[in-house]
Structures are given as C-alpha cells and as structure tokens.
Structure 1
Amino acid sequence: MRCATIVSYVNGTNALLKIFSKNRKEAISIINSMTIKSFCAYIKKNIQQNKHLII
C-alpha cells in the first residue's frame, strides 16, 4: 500500500503500527483487513491523537 509506505517512511514503521495496536502482529492484521480508503481515513483521524508516538 502506497499510503502505508509513505506514512512508515516519514514516521517509522513502529509508529505506524502503534496507531493501530500496541501488538505488532495485531496491527498488521488490522491493516491488512482494511481497504485503502479506510486505511487512509483511519490514519488521518488517528495520527494527531498519537502524535507522541511519532518521532
């Protein structure tokens, strides 16, 4: 997913995954079950709430 690549490049993979779950495997599962549209919407909504996770 292009969006995931861009977000993880800018913020780091761990920061991206922690937006979805503290558990890495669970976060990957959640991301893989989403559509591109729902992934992007979730990131836009939650990235501000999880600013402390972003380096």
Structure 2
Amino acid sequence: MKKEFSSHLEAINWIAEQAKTESHFEILREELIFNHIYTGEYFLEDISCDQAVAWL
C-alpha cells in the first residue's frame, strides 16, 4: 500500500494521527524523510509492515 502526500506538513499530520506509539511515529517519519530525499516526493509504502515492527 502506498500513501502519498502533497506536503511535508500533510504527511506529518497524517503520521501523528495514525501512529500507535512514539516508536511507530518515528519509523514512519524516518521512512517519509528517506523517500523524500531519494525521490523528491512525500509518500509511505507498506504501512502495515511498519506497524508490526513498531510494536517490538
């Protein structure tokens, strides 16, 4: 699953609403930053996989 955003602020607001824990927020934020650095776009992929990792 790919979730696209039009701006960094929109993405951060969405992440803040969706994150289950602080570590989940950090995982999603880091993925967002990584994707933007390498593609110039704001998006997240495989969001469900990140949630499982954040619970560890």
TM-score (norm 1): 0.36
Structure number with the higher helix fraction is 1
Structure number with the higher strand fraction is 2
TM-score (norm 2): 0.35
Higher RCO structure, 1 or 2 (CA under 8 Å, sep 6+): 2
